[in-house]
Structure 1
Amino acid sequence: MWRQGKEELVVDVYMDDLIVTNVRTEDINSFKREMAAYFRMSDLGALSYYLSIEVRQGKEELMLGQSAYASKLLEQSGVAKYKPCVTPMEERLKLTKASTVTKVDAILYRSIVGV
């Protein structure tokens, strides 16, 4: 945290990116000027997307969402074309050792679930 006056400035660092937040725009601009004096940097403006999270900013609210990330996972797993249903598997399905179903691609599965 970086302090200037009464308000605290919150700075999130990820790799070479910084997210700077504060109630007062003047404090953010002051922090950016101070950092620019020491480091070569560029201002990408208002945050809109960060670590697979969509960010929508209003005057009084900040909305976070992951619909693009969820859609990408559905596409990647091949189920985006299916319609939603209450039971996500075939009803009364009998499972046996001698299954004729195509085996799951373990590498694709791990990439989808984040392993």
Structure 2
Amino acid sequence: MVVSLALSWNWPIHQLDVKNAFLNGDLSETVYMYQPPGYANRVSFSLSRCDSSLFIYQHGSEAAYLLIYADDIELAASSTNLLQRIVSSLHKEFDMTDLGALNYFLGISVTRDSTCMFLSQNKYALELLDMAHMANCNPTRMLVDTESKLGSDGDPISDPTLYRSLAGGLQYLTFTCLDISYAVQHVCLHMNDPREPHLAALKRVLRYVRGTLDFGL
């Protein structure tokens, strides 16, 4: 939604990376889980009510959206000047790198021109195929076997953990590959007790993904 709004308003979008280290040890510093009283919020972002990872800045005609996932940040602002001011302000508080215009975020590659933006999970899809040992499988253009219906019958599969990992991975792939949503939903219905017919249906989806690696949003 943030990307769509920024594109429609022709806002610049940058990605930032916070340089941090996750330590296994005792901390001598006080760690606040909530903002302490008297803390001066210099950047003046407010937390979105609908998404805890989204922060919104609004001052007069200026506006900005900041998305945070762990140490990855996506920042969209109403002007390049405002974007750079926010980046400079963040630099004063945190050690971070401005990676420039948005091009790869959370497994999604972004290609932008003057009128549109193309989102693709090609690299992520290839990783899923590697996990399933199907990187060189024969592709198919038919997502679902219309002649059969998935039920609870069939022999249990040998590796249900892999099945669940692949099904969950396919769920994430539906962010940009909406055409597989229906088939993935049916595969995920059987994650609790996957059987051989369910695995065959999952592999069919992966074969479709193999043949549509250039698809996106």
What is the Cα deviation at residue 11 of structure 1? 0.5
Any gaps of 5 or more consecutive residues in structure 1? Answer: none
Q: For residue 88 of structure 1, report the CA deviation from its aligned partner.
A: 6.5
Q: Is 2:82 aligned against 1:27?
A: yes
Q: Which residue of 2 aligns with 1:36?
A: 91
Shift of 1:21: 0.6
Task: Please tell me the root mean square deviation across aligned C-alpha atoms, in Å.
Answer: 2.8
Distance 2:167 2:98 in 1: 33
* Aligned residue in 1 for 2:125: 70
Mapping of residues 97-108 of structure 1, within 5 Å: 103-108=157-162
Q: Of 106, 109, 113, which aligns to 2:163?
A: 109
> 1 or 2, which has the higher helix percentage?
2
Unpaired runs of 5+ residues, structure 2, are 1-55, 169-190, 192-217
Match of 1:59 in 2: 114
TM-score computed with the length of structure 1 as normaliser: 0.73
Change (3 A) 1:44 1:109: same
TM-score (norm 2): 0.42
Pair 61,7 (structure 1): closer, same or farther in 2 beyond 3 Å? farther
Per the alignment, residue 45 of structure 2 pairs with none
Deviation at 1:47, TM superposition (A): 2.0
Residue aligning to 2:33: none
What is the number of equivalent residue pairs in this alignment? 108
Identify the range of structure 1 (73-82 vs 5-14) with the bigger mean alpha-carbon deviation: 73-82
- Pick the structure with greater CA Rg: 1
Q: What SS does the corresponding residue of 1:45 show, helix, strand or coil?
A: strand
1:5 positional shift = 4.0
Matched letter for residue 8 of structure 1: A
Which of 54, 73, 77 is residue 18 of structure 1 equivalent to?
73
Deviation of 1:19 (Å): 0.9
Amino acid at match of 1:54: S
Identical-pair percentage: 30
